[in-house]
Structure 1
Amino acid sequence: MVEQRTYEVRTYGCQMNVHDSERLTGLLEDAGYAPFRPAPDGEPAEHPDVVVFNTCAVRENADNRLYGNLGHLAPVKAKKPGMQIAVGGCLAQKDRSTIVEKAPWVDVVFGTHNIGSLPALLDRARAQEEAQVEILESLEVFPSTLPTKRESAYAAWVSISVGCNNTCTFCIVPSLRGKEKDRRPGDVLAEIRALVAEGVSEVTLLGQNVNSYGVEFGDRQAFSKLLRACGEVDGLERVRFTSPHPAEFTDDVIEAMAETPTVMPQLHMPLQSGSDRMLKAMRRSYRQSKFLGIIERVRAAMPEAAITTDIIVGFPGETEEDFEQTLEVVRQARFSGAFTFIYSPRPGTPAATMEEQVPRDVVQARYDRLTGLVNEIAWEENQRLVGRTVDLLVAEGEGRKDAATHRLSGRGPDNRLVHFTPPADTPRPGDVVTVEISYAAPHHLVADTVLGVRRTRSGDAWEARTADPAPASVGLGMPAVGVPAPLPDAPACR
């Protein structure tokens, strides 16, 4: 009997990459590979037969991180006959054959448009004993048709579009993911219904720009209609989405959010800068007043909505006055959290060759001031919730531990993270607990009192998955069972 080859997928970057990795693991298991299990402590270290890097190209250190990891694997591969290394994702789409020139021990390089080719490319590289590089320029098969092994039994990503039609001067994503392509609403809803049938209770709709969904097939209100249609799916309890673009955020979406109970009162909307001058230089087609106007209307419709954002510090030409305008928007918007980034030039983007690159020490000082303000406001907003009753979807993992307490974790409707002291009837991941918030920190809340536990079909699905792991399912939206993990808390490439 031939021993089953094992695999490991290492994912970097945004939710899109996490979702793509679910497809890659599904493809590999459908092709007969098995998940790699590390050796127990005290036993000799082992390594998988196939290591797949699903890369990101957004940050400056992405290249160094990849080649550093590839360098560490070179001596491992030399000692393990038959081991293969594959590199995919945005950095692979960008660097192409450069990867095998810099790291000739890599066996396969594939792009963002042909993740479905991975098993065949691995077979071909093994048979021909030479590296296989296959990069397509445009999407041929929508990834949702591929086999999938989802990370979670109770929460799922659902892609509604791929690619982006914007031309932000700092962003390399459109050149790597291509122009926007939208799935038909019926296909999206069919996937969601299939997920719910398998026990999923929360879905997050994914797109580089979700609120431009439908433009490709001529319906500018398609996204708000999709949100309302999700609200009619029996058994689906929570709907989230990421990320919208402020330039195309319309009132029909706000109305759909407010009027559809299963759409959660949470919004992640990238600001990038509060300065109109910087927004123009970034080629972001909105201005400060429009951004703040959207937030005002969202809060008028959903007073308890938690709003998070992305902010770039040190974009070329940013002055102290520009930065102060960003701080002022943060003060007015009162974000519950923000992903803050120091600008890093990416080759191939217009911003990389702009003059007036801001000195690093100046950028660092501004970054520290920004994160201090964001944390201060987030803490104040969290403190307002002390004493409130909140329903949490229990997350995978053990939560926080210290000498005196053992806590589990969950997410409220507004997506805030809450650590809670479990009752005697310990809830399972996917179950819902009702808690009273007793303490607030800048990045999480604590609940010492659990008022109730509701065992759910999602908890049943998690329990079944952990009791009897099975290979990935094949076909539209059919989640496989495997080792679940919590949804990552990371921004999309916006």
Structure 2
Amino acid sequence: MSNEMNIKKAYVATNGCHGSETQVRQYAETFSRKGYLLTARVEDADVIVADLCSFTHQAKSDSVGWLKSIESQRKPTSEVIVTGCYLGINPGSVEAVVPRVRYMTKEQMRTFSGNTLATPIVPGYVDAEGVLKLKIEDGCGGKCTFCAIPNGVGRRYSYPLDLIMSTIQNYVGEHPGTTVKFVGEDIGFYGLDRKDGTTILTLLDKVKDLEGDFNVRIDVVNPWWFLRYPHLIDSMAEGVSANRIVPYVGVPLQSGSDTILKSMKRLYSRLQFEGVLDTLLEKIPSLGLSSEVIVGFPGETDTDFKHTFEVVDKYNFNPLGVWGYTPFEGTDSFHFENKVNSNVIQERMEMLVALVIDKEKKKRGCTTLEELCAQMEQQGFLPLNTNGKNLFTGVRQ
């Protein structure tokens, strides 16, 4: 009994995305190997690691609320370590909630884990559906004027190729039939920091040659990587033909207006975006596509929105994430003039949602929204949250 009482306990958690979840599992493994007992109770912990999200205003508010809850429950002697995107985007704001806190950036946490673990690991976890989610890279070098995430995630880092391959092989050897999902802030960047010629193409080639009963799902690839690597689509098509790559990819649009894309610093035009998607669908006819758009970006006119509407109408994005623009401190667009009226943003969002619903109703032969939702629910599809609106997705539960 006395020995058990002397064992230190660690509480490690996140309120962030899949990428944060993979890293938190690595942090937990680190503390476990250092002799800590992992606990789900804040009040029992000697060390508390909180990986905080700050992707949206709601996420930022949730992070503050979570910190307040931690502060009210923790032992007076416990150590609180705060990490995650919130730290990079809102530096210094945590101490107002938790007076005695230790800051560690994602990069510092990665170094901490690497120095502790005798055998390096790729951050990852198996979700409730049995999908192995592996974080193949950290960081984003994008300069998008609406996004503060690059400030939060820190320096770019690609996990070693051989380590990713051995992680997959070891897991699928015991769990045949596994789907492996590659996640990261900008997975098209993979390998460029390693300075040894490794790229996302190298990774996919290795995956196709790896023995074992598994397939790989590629999460989201920004359009400019398809432009940089003309053979990326061919590589994906070969993987799909070999039943090694799932015929699905997310390609964020954000806007169909060249004027707005330039203001966003998105590094492609509408014509280039459509060229990428047309080639993808030509070479992988069974491909499922998802995308995201931001409505009401500063300066967006009716004509600009019309261009976005036309692109959404042209393709069957399933799901489509619809975001109403809100100014976010720490981004370039926070200081942009010509903000769009919130009522106009709401109206444009509703137009896009109505368009997608109408297309799906026609596709499925439904006459009402209720009939469509009932059919989708029966087939196990999840609702899509679009800034408070419920839509459906093509992603099964």
TM-score category (smaller protein): 0.7 to 0.9
Pairing 1:216-231 to 2, within 5 Å after superposition: 216-217=193-194, 222-231=199-208
For the residue of structure 2 that corresponds to 1:150, the secondary structure is strand
C-alpha distance in 1 between matches for 2:44 and 2:344: 44
Q: Which residue of 1 is the match for residue 267 of structure 2?
A: 285
> Structure 1 residues 230-239 or 367-376, which shifts more?
367-376
CA, structure 1 residues 444+301, in 2 after alignment: closer, same or farther (shift >3 Å)?
Answer: closer
Q: Which residue of 2 is the match for residue 69 of structure 1?
A: 66
CA, structure 1 residues 380+188, in 2 after alignment: closer, same or farther (shift >3 Å)?
Answer: farther
C-alpha distance in 2 between matches for 1:52 and 1:180: 22
Pairing 1:125-164 to 2, within 5 Å after superposition: 145-146=120-121, 150-152=125-127, 154-164=130-140
In the alignment, which of 272, 288, 313 is matched to residue 295 of structure 2? 313
CA, structure 1 residues 204+141, in 2 after alignment: closer, same or farther (shift >3 Å)?
Answer: farther
Opposite residue 195 of structure 1, the aligned amino acid is Y
CA, structure 1 residues 232+372, in 2 after alignment: closer, same or farther (shift >3 Å)?
Answer: same
> Structure 1 residue 48: deviation in Å?
4.3
Q: Which residue of 2 is the match for residue 92 of structure 1?
A: 87
CA, structure 1 residues 8+210, in 2 after alignment: closer, same or farther (shift >3 Å)?
Answer: same
Contact kept in structure 1, 2:126 and 2:133, CA below 8 Å: no
Q: Which residue of 2 is the match for residue 115 of structure 1?
A: 109
For the residue of structure 1 that corresponds to 2:125, the secondary structure is coil
* Greater RCO (CA < 8 Å, at least 6 residues apart): 1
> Structure 1 residues 50-59 or 284-293, which shifts more?
50-59
Opposite residue 259 of structure 1, the aligned amino acid is E
Contact kept in structure 2, 1:26 and 1:147, CA below 8 Å: no
In the alignment, which of 224, 240, 246 is matched to residue 247 of structure 1? 224
Pairing 1:237-386 to 2, within 5 Å after superposition: 237-249=214-226, 250-260=229-239, 261-378=243-360, 380=362, 383=364
For the residue of structure 2 that corresponds to 1:316, the secondary structure is coil
> Structure 1 residues 295-304 or 192-201, which shifts more?
192-201
C-alpha distance in 2 between matches for 1:253 and 1:68: 43
Contact kept in structure 1, 2:139 and 2:156, CA below 8 Å: yes
Q: Which residue of 1 is the match for residue 148 of structure 2?
A: 172
C-alpha distance in 2 between matches for 1:336 and 1:147: 30
Q: Does 1:29 align with 2:32?
A: yes
C-alpha distance in 2 between matches for 1:373 and 1:62: 28
> Structure 1 residue 92: deviation in Å?
1.4
> Structure 1 residues 160-169 or 108-117, which shifts more?
108-117
C-alpha distance in 2 between matches for 1:147 and 1:284: 29
Contact kept in structure 1, 2:145 and 2:264, CA below 8 Å: yes
| Higher share of residues assigned helix | 2
Q: Does 1:104 align with 2:98?
A: yes
Normalising to structure 1: TM-score of the pair?
0.66
Contact kept in structure 1, 2:138 and 2:158, CA below 8 Å: yes
Opposite residue 307 of structure 1, the aligned amino acid is L
Contact kept in structure 2, 1:185 and 1:226, CA below 8 Å: yes
Contact kept in structure 1, 2:251 and 2:290, CA below 8 Å: yes
C-alpha distance in 2 between matches for 1:297 and 1:67: 44
Contact kept in structure 2, 1:378 and 1:442, CA below 8 Å: no
Structure 1 unaligned runs (5+)? 39-45, 120-138, 385-401, 410-415, 419-440, 447-485, 487-494
> Structure 1 residue 319: deviation in Å?
1.4
C-alpha distance in 2 between matches for 1:445 and 1:146: 29
Q: Which residue of 1 is the match for residue 393 of structure 2?
A: 443
Q: Which residue of 2 is the match for residue 235 of structure 1?
A: 212
> Structure 1 residue 344: deviation in Å?
2.4
Contact kept in structure 2, 1:161 and 1:181, CA below 8 Å: yes
Contact kept in structure 2, 1:211 and 1:245, CA below 8 Å: yes
- Aligned length, in residue pairs: 368
The CA deviation string for residues 424-483 of structure 1, in whole angstroms up to 9 with x for no partner, is: xxxxxxxxxxxxxxxxx943689xxxxxxxxxxxxxxxxxxxxxxxxxxxxxxxxxxxxx
Normalising to structure 2: TM-score of the pair?
0.80
For the residue of structure 2 that corresponds to 1:104, the secondary structure is coil
For the residue of structure 2 that corresponds to 1:296, the secondary structure is helix
Cα RMSD for the two superposed structures:
3.4
C-alpha distance in 2 between matches for 1:299 and 1:147: 32
C-alpha distance in 2 between matches for 1:408 and 1:370: 24
C-alpha distance in 2 between matches for 1:72 and 1:262: 44
> Structure 1 residue 176: deviation in Å?
2.6
> Structure 1 residues 184-193 or 358-367, which shifts more?
184-193
Contact kept in structure 2, 1:27 and 1:116, CA below 8 Å: no
Q: Does 1:56 align with 2:41?
A: no
Structure 2 unaligned runs (5+)? 366-373, 384-390
CA, structure 1 residues 106+334, in 2 after alignment: closer, same or farther (shift >3 Å)?
Answer: farther
C-alpha distance in 2 between matches for 1:17 and 1:91: 11
> Structure 1 residue 76: deviation in Å?
2.6
C-alpha distance in 1 between matches for 2:312 and 2:344: 19
Q: Does 1:182 align with 2:185?
A: no
Contact kept in structure 2, 1:57 and 1:90, CA below 8 Å: yes
